Amino acid sequence: MECRLDAGLEELCPVCGDKVSGYHYGLLTCESCKGFFKRTVQNNKKYICAEKQDCRIDQIQRKRCPFCRFQKCLHVGMRLEAVRADRMRGGRNKFGPMYKRDRALKQQRKALIQAGGFRAESCPHLVSSTHQRELSFPGGLHLVPILHSNDCISYQPPSLSSFLPSNSLVATQYQCIPFSNWTIKSEHTKNCMSSHGSAAGTSSDKMYSRPFSPHGPRMPQLVMEFLHCEPDELQLQDKIAVRLLQEQTGWEEQGNPSTLSLMCLMADQTLFSIVEWARTSIFFKKLKVSDQMKLLHSCWSDLLLLDGISRQVLYGREGRLLLVTGQEMELSEIALHAGPILASLVQRGQELVEKLHILKVDRQEFACIKFLILFNPEVKHLEEHQFVESVQEQVEGALLEYTLCTSSHLLGRFSHLLLCLSELRSLSTLVEDYLHCKHLSGEVPCNNLLMEMLHAKCSLA
DNA sequence: GTAGCCTTGAAG
DNA sequence: CTTCAAGGCTAC
């Protein structure tokens, strides 16, 4: 049937550029990369790169370096957990609804492109800037529709509501962003924030337990536990979109808010998600509420900053700021409109992003760093100080073990990460100071979690 | 080991 | 019933 050959199949495989044969393990890929991914994960293959672990993977050379090919599979977002541990054939898995949404979006976009007079050409790797349309952003800035490797154009009407992602936009972003989860689903992770979406609990879910690490380095158990506590980016975007939409009612009465106010609202919503993450995370949920409060009050700005920075490192593009909603802003535009203090903060943030980018810090390491930040034994008056200290030690141990497995530079990588962490902490202090000033001058919204945290920290100091 | 084609089976 | 993304098979 004709509709079987939907827009998606005209695309090229994000791993090697070959012809796409359908959705495989989370996204549209070719038949060979599907098979390669399956063989690698099912047989627990270990590969070694003979070069510098940055081999080019294309249709011709894809067989030359399986290590880099598998890395690329993970990087573009192929899902380990879609490979079934029990090898059961047929049926559907939890990704079904995601595939459906993505397909609908592509169809919709194709129609838009045709209606807009654009050539509906497939452009999976090189996206011409003429295909971009800027959306007006209150306060004079502009949002650029997200354009990722697997994606051509995302349209939204240029209104305030356009600030928020539509479901389809979210779905696009989801497909473009690699959120490959490592496997292992232990009992306790049921209590952690689900990373398995609304379809969790399908009959295939039981298959996701697989006691092995599927490539190169051995994954320390604790690192896997941390990964399982990570919120699902798709759900996060949806949640924040809904909350911002609710805020919109108030905006209409008061006129358009400033860019700074919008960013604060977004930060506020992100903060909610960070608290939710902590509340449901391994170790943290065992703490007394009073200690939980103390820890969060002490490190909220570090976590908020790390959230933004990790987003840039993992999924951002040069010269752009990727927002939690999945949209992007031009950094040059920000620099143009921001005052000197904000501009220097953004600059320092970018430098940190650059450092982490060069280090190729991955999701696993970011997940560990979050716990390192959260479990800070230096926080005063903790009732369970020893527990916090022991968790800190365990996290350090797990991160060290992981970096030793993934890097040949022995302790170098680990100490680099710790250096970045200290830079992050000093930067977040400056961000707090900046927010405090803006709060005092009445330029940012009051009565929200962000301000509550700010005040709590001021009273701690 | 790779990759194209085949079989399966839950979801719709 | 059909769909289609899983795993399987097998020539290369």
Measured CA to C1', the nucleotide nearest A45 is B1
Rounded-to-integer distance, Cα A224 and Cα A400, Å: 14
Query: Residue A407: which region, alpha, beta or left (left: phi > 0; alpha: psi -120 to 50)?
Result: beta
- Give CA–CA dist A76/A131, Å, rounded: 22
Q: Which nucleotide does the CA of A100 lie closest to, via C1'?
A: C4
Distance of A32 CA from C9 C1′ (whole Å):
15
B3 C1' – A36 CA distance, angstroms? 9
Question: Which residue would you say has higher pLDDT here, A266 or A200?
Answer: A266
For A199, the token pair is: 């379809």
Strand, helix or coil for residue A279: helix
Q: Give the dihedral of Cα atoms A6, A156, A145, A106; nearest 10 deg.
A: -10
Confidence of residue A390 (pLDDT cuts 50, 70, 90): very high
Rounded distance in angstroms from the CA atom of residue A169 to the C1' atom of nucleotide B4: 34
Taking alpha carbons only, the member of A248, A122, A233, A259 closest to residue A169 is A233
Q: What is the pLDDT of residue A459?
A: 65
Please state, in angstroms and rounded to a whole number, the distance separating the CA atoms of residues A448 and A29: 43
What local confidence, expressed as pLDDT, does residue A29 receive?
Answer: 96
Q: Is the pLDDT reported for residue A117 higher than 70?
A: no
Q: Check if the beta carbon of residue A275 is closer than 8 Å to that of residue A267.
A: no
**A413-428 pLDDT tens trace:** 888 999 999 999 999 9
pLDDT digits (tens, 9 = 90+) for A245-264: 666 655 655 666 677 778 88
* Torsions phi, psi for A29 (to 5 deg): -140, 175
Nearest one of A275, A324, A321 to A296, comparing CA atoms? A275
- The SS3 call for residue A401 is helix
Q: Could you give the CA distance from residue A98 to residue A93 in angstroms, rounded to a whole number?
A: 10
Q: Which residue(s) pair with A144 in the sheet?
A: A328
Closest nucleotide C1' to the C-alpha of A103: C4
Nucleotides of B under 7 A from a protein CB: 1-5, 7-12
Nucleotide nearest the Cα atom of A204 (by C1')? B10
Identify, with chain letter, the residue nearest to nucleotide B3 (CA–C1'): A32
Three-class secondary structure assignment of A46-103: CCCCCCCCCCCCCCCCCCCCHHHHHHHHHHHCCCHHHCCCCCCCCCCCCCHHHHHHHH
Task: Report CA(A460)–C1'(C8) in Å, whole number.
Answer: 62
Identify which has the larger pLDDT, A399 or A232: A399
Place of tokens 């805020």: A247
Closest nucleotide to A199 by C1' from CA? B11
Cα separation of A228 and A192, whole Å? 7
Q: Could you give the residue ranges of the DSSP H alpha helices within A316-384? A: 331-337, 340-358, 363-374
Residue nearest to nucleotide C3 (CA to C1'): A4
Per the CB < 8 A criterion, the answer to whether A391 and A379 are in contact is: no
Helix axes A411-440, A340-358, angle to 10 degrees: 160
- Name, in order, each residue with C-beta under 8 angstroms of A231's C-beta and a sequence gap of 6 or more: A193, A195, A273, A276, A277
Amino acid at A228: H
| Residue matched to tokens 């952003």 | A137
Task: Indicate the range of A27-36, A187-196, A365-374 predicted with least confidence.
Answer: A187-196
Distance CA A18, CA A14 (A): 8
Rounded to whole angstroms, the Cα distance separating A436 from A438 reads 5
Average the pLDDT over A178-206 and give the result: 32
pLDDT at A311 over 70: yes
Nearest to A221 by CA among A179, A184, A189: A184
Q: Is the pLDDT of residue A403 over 80?
A: yes
Nucleotide with the nearest C1' to A97 CA: B11
| Short-list A265, A267, A269, CA closest to A251 | A265
In degrees to the nearest 10, what's the CA dihedral of A323, A324, A325, A328?
10
CA-to-C1' span, A92 to B10 (A): 5
State which protein residues have CB closer than 7 Å to strand B: A 18, 30-33, 35-36, 39, 43, 62-63, 66, 88-92, 96-97, 202-203
Give me the half-sphere count of Cα atoms (radius 13 Å) on the Cβ side of residue A367.
Answer: 26
For strand C, give the nucleotides within 7 A of a protein CB: 2-9
pLDDT, position A214: 40
The fraction of chain A above a pLDDT of 90, given in percent, is 33
List pLDDT tens digits, range A322-346: 888 877 888 888 888 888 888 899 9
Residues whose C-beta lies under 7 Å from strand C: A 1, 3-4, 22-26, 35, 38, 42, 82-84, 87-90, 92-93, 95-96, 99
Burial of A297 (0-12, 13-18, 19+ CB in 10 A): middle
